[in-house]
Amino acid sequence: KGANNESRGALVVFEGLDRSGKTSQCGRLLSYLEGLGHSVELWRFPDRSTSVGQMISAYLTNKSQLDDHTIHLLFSANRWDKRSLMETKLKAGTTLIVDRYSYSGVAFSSAKGLDFEWCKAPEIGLIAPDLVVYLDIPAEKAAERGGYGGERYEQLEFQRKVAQHYKLLEDSSWEIVDACQTLEVVEKQVKEIVLEHVTTCQKGKALSSLWS
């Protein structure tokens, strides 16, 4: 739990291509921070449990077809649905580890050919992460990792484009971790980076908004 009433939780986002190891690393980080006595929760986007999330899930599993703009706005709406709860949790001192966020939203949709600035617009005003851990892996290497599932977007050529668009989103909140290393080495680097940021937030760093 936080050291005093003013200390807030950190918003830590994981980004990277499909099969870059985000989900494994998020799980390990969660146990680590819990073990240190922090109040921490693991979230993910898309959150498939909400009504918007179910529409997104149907789209990703090819059970429904949607215009590219429409699905982009649904992904964004899925985050807006959680914005106020996110703020409440952070202010109450809970650190949130989030598996994908607005950067996925923009990188995947703009890789399809949608205008980059248009893709960013609906994300404006969401809470800005204190830290974005980008798990960096070439699309070819990610594809070798047990192959992709059958969901939309899980194709080598498309993932290459997504990687190019992710690069355009990098800002000072990003830490790039080489995801070609072993799970254990990545885990160690992630823990060090995250702990430093959690401490900074406890010391009173203000929350800010995307994209500024």
Stretch that binds ligand NYM, among 4-12, 104-112, 129-137, 195-203 (CB under 6 A): 104-112
Residue 162 C-beta: closest distance to ligand NYM, Å: 8
Q: Please report, as residue ranges, which positions from 141 to 180 form the binding site for ligand NYM (by CB under 6 A).
A: 153
Q: How far apart are CA 1 and CA 61, in angstroms?
A: 39
Residue 64 C-beta: closest distance to ligand NYM, Å: 14
CB closer to ligand NYM out of 60 and 137: 60
State which of residues 14, 43, 45, 134 lies at the interface with ligand NYM (CB under 6 A).
Answer: 45
Nearest to 53 by CA among 82, 14, 25: 82
Stretch that binds ligand NYM, among 2-10, 88-96, 100-108, 198-206 (CB under 6 A): 100-108
State which of residues 105, 129, 131, 198 lies at the interface with ligand NYM (CB under 6 A).
Answer: 105
Output b/e per residue, 22-49; b: 16+ Cβ within 10 A.
Answer: beebbebbbebbeeeebebebbebbbbe
HEC states along 108-167?
A: HHHHCCCCHHHHHHHHCCCECCCEEEEEECCHHHHHHCCCCCCCCCCCHHHHHHHHHHHH
21 in contact with ligand NYM (CB under 6 A): no
Binding footprint of ligand NYM on the chain (CB under 6 A): 18, 45-46, 60, 75, 100, 104-105, 108, 153
